[in-house]
Amino acid sequence: MIAIHMSSNKEDSKVIIALDYSNKKDTLNLVSKLDKSLCNLKVGYELFLSEGQSLIKELHKREFKIFLDLKLHDIPNTVKRAINVICDYGIWMTNVHVLGGKEMLASAKQVVKKESPETKLIGVTILTSLNDDLLKPLGFSNSVEETVYNFADLCHEAGLDGIVCSAGEAIHIRKKFLDNFLIVTPGIRLKNDTADDQKRVVTPVQAKNNGVSYIVVGRPVTMSSDPLSILKKINNEFNE
């Protein structure tokens, strides 16, 4: 069994910084400006495909907790085998796509429970880039909201630790499930920030009030000339 790399902070930070970079140099340049007690780090496709496991090791050396965001979506056996590899990395959080179905979700969780019980496995619901009009041609007759609520139920039934959804959907889901069912939400902006390409954005305070457990923040921190001060601001708002 692999130990999860926990940072030394007693309080678990609720902010996850999205490392949307293509190389180690840029990534470590940002990471060196951050405080591990104020954030966890999200490694997505771009960075993982460019730098792989060695970068994960590098970030672990710096005692950050890692959310490996690969949104796995395949038949249960294939996802199980991939999750088995991820479990060897000592990752704090990772995810699968809910569209893989309940059997896939449950079997992925089974592997995590056995191989790396401290790793959080969450389900990606409907991407925030999709709306009702885009969902229809995919064969969905329900709205985005209803679909996300159904997907949250499915994740809960399959024993997952939580979901990724928008802050708007979080209100309803938090009413239904206790705080130990994690709600992870991107699309966070401080008041007066630009929304970039995000369609629906909320402030850290709104996310907190909606029952969100962890907020994912990218550009407001990565594009800032003073990433640490923005990170502190976001933490203060979310922890208020």
The least CB distance from residue 45 to ligand C5P, in Å, is: 9
Q: By CB under 6 A, tell whether 27 contacts ligand C5P.
A: no
In contact, 112 and 90? CB cutoff 8 Å: no
> Does the protein bind ligand C5P through residue 91 (CB under 6 A)?
no
Position 46 contacts ligand C5P (CB under 6 A): no
Per-residue CA distances from 223 to 30, 168, 218, 239 (Å): 9, 25, 8, 23
Nearer to ligand C5P, 20 or 74 (CB): 20
- Our answer to whether residue 71 is catalytic in this structure is yes
217 scored as a contact of ligand C5P (CB under 6 A): yes
Site string for ligand C5P, 169-188 (x = CB under 6 A): -----------------xx-
From CA 33, how far away is CA 228, in angstroms rounded? 6
How many C-alpha atoms does 24 have within 13 Å on its Cβ side? 10
Q: Which of 118, 108, 121 is nearest to 69 (CA)?
A: 121
In the chain, what is the greatest distance between 2 CA atoms, to the nearest angstrom?
48
Which residue from 31, 38, 44, 92 is in contact with ligand C5P, where contact means CB under 6 A? Answer: 44
Give the Cα separation of 202 and 193 in Å (integer): 10
Query: What is the C-alpha to C-alpha distance for residues 240 and 234, in angstroms, rounded to an integer?
Result: 10
Q: How far is the CB of 10 from ligand C5P (least distance, A)?
A: 27
Using the rule CB under 6 A, give the single segment among 96-104, 135-143, 169-177, 217-225 that binds ligand C5P. Answer: 217-225
CB of 113 to ligand C5P, least distance (A): 25
Instruction: Based on the shown chain and the rule CB under 6 A, indicate whether residue 204 belongs to the binding site for ligand C5P.
Output: no
CB-count exposure of residue 68 (10 Å: 0-12, 13-18, 19+): buried
What 3-state class would DSSP assign to 5? coil
Q: How many residues bind ligand C5P (CB under 6 A)?
A: 14
Determine which one of 71, 102, 114, 120 is catalytic.
Answer: 71
Q: Which residues bind ligand C5P (CB under 6 A)?
A: 18, 20, 44, 127-128, 164, 186-187, 196, 198, 216-219
- Which residues are designated catalytic? 71
